Amino acid sequence: MTPLTGLHSSRPKASAALLLAWVFTQVTGALGATDILVPYNLTWKSTNFKTILEWEPKPIKHFYTVQISTKFGDWKNKCFRRTATECDLTDEIVKNVRLTYTARVLAYPAGSGQASTPFGEPPFTNSPEFTPYVETLLGQPEIQSFEQVGTKLRITVRPTPTLVRANGTFLSLRDVYGKDLSYILYFWKSSSTGKKTNKTETNEFLVDVDKGEDYCFNVEAVIASRKENQKSPESLILCTNHGKDRIRGLAYVIGAVVVLVIIFVIVLFISLYKCRKAGGHQNGKENSPLNVA
């Protein structure tokens, strides 16, 4: 009888070879997938605390999940299984805009579980640190109202809303920054290019101007304590229109006079017509022959 020892010994060797081949295939595939999936170029985009994280590359056969954490906090999952390359993180950072945040983007192959890949943690990339209070950009301010009376020009800047909350109420930029936030006013005569400036730590300006002159102006927001991104874009240019008001008022007066003249002419014409008609009728009676009985 032929011994069976050779047959028994060959089975473990075959199984080990098959296992080794499978592991090699999986590792090779995973490494290739990792080279493609690793996110890069993570960038914070933030204006008035509206904050979005962007990254590359566009997904092909994978998806992304974003996590965010404070400097010494735990990771929170955001934007699960995204095929887009951006994630709105505003709701997290507005909880405390003075803290420093870090985000990371994890890449998962299509069809994989959420927790991990077959070889543990998925590839990921950390973002730069981001402190909203000192890094969010200031949006373009808006002039709410203006009025020129005599030699005074009053300008009010509209409070800029944010998604930062306190006691259930949304705060404006002024509420968040207080006197750290100032506005600079640029104003000039509409007939000139020479600009003057004025600064306020509130949302109102009251400046001296020449009586009867029209002025143009705009404003910009400033946080002077910052090292970077101190200034906002300038607001739209607005102008007073005293000259136009005078022209418009004169036009109204002239128009009213013309209307009155037209009415007077019409009434006079009708009166003359009636008088002429009445006079003709009377002359006809006088010239008619008397009836003989």
SS (H, E, C) the chain: CCCCHHHHHHHHHHHHHHHHHHHHHHHHHHHHHHHHHCCEEEEEEEECCEEEEEEECCCCCEEEEEEEEECCCCCEEEEEEECCCEEECHHHHCCCCCCCEEEEEEEEECCCCCCCECCECCCEEECCCECHHHHCECCCCCEEEEEEECCEEEEEECCCEEEEEECCEEEEHHHHHHHHCEEEEEEEECCCCCCEEEEECCCEEEEECCCCCCEEEEEEEECCCCCCCCECCCCCCEECCHHHHHHHHHHHHHHHHHHHHHHHHHHHHHHHHHHHHHHHHHHHHHHCCCCCC
How do residues 16-43 score in pLDDT, each as one tens digit? 433 433 443 354 354 444 445 789 999 9
Q: Quote the pLDDT of residue 209.
A: 94
The rounded percent of the chain whose pLDDT value lies above 90 is 58
Supply the pTM of this predicted model.
0.69
Domains in the chain: ranges and CATH: 29-134 (2.60.40.10), 143-244 (2.60.40.10)
Average pLDDT over residues 125-154: 96
Which range has the worst mean pLDDT, 133-147, 161-175, 185-199, 275-289? 275-289
Residue-averaged pLDDT of the chain: 81
Average pLDDT over residues 6-14: 39
Q: Quote the pLDDT of residue 191.
A: 85
Q: Quote the pLDDT of residue 289.
A: 54
Band of pLDDT at residue 124, cut at 50, 70 and 90: very high
Q: Quote the pLDDT of residue 130.
A: 97
Band of pLDDT at residue 117, cut at 50, 70 and 90: low
The residue that leads in pLDDT, 260 or 286, is 260
Q: Quote the pLDDT of residue 266.
A: 83
Average pLDDT over residues 230-248: 79
pLDDT at 287 over 80: no
How do residues 51-72 score in pLDDT, each as one tens digit? 999 999 998 888 999 999 998 8
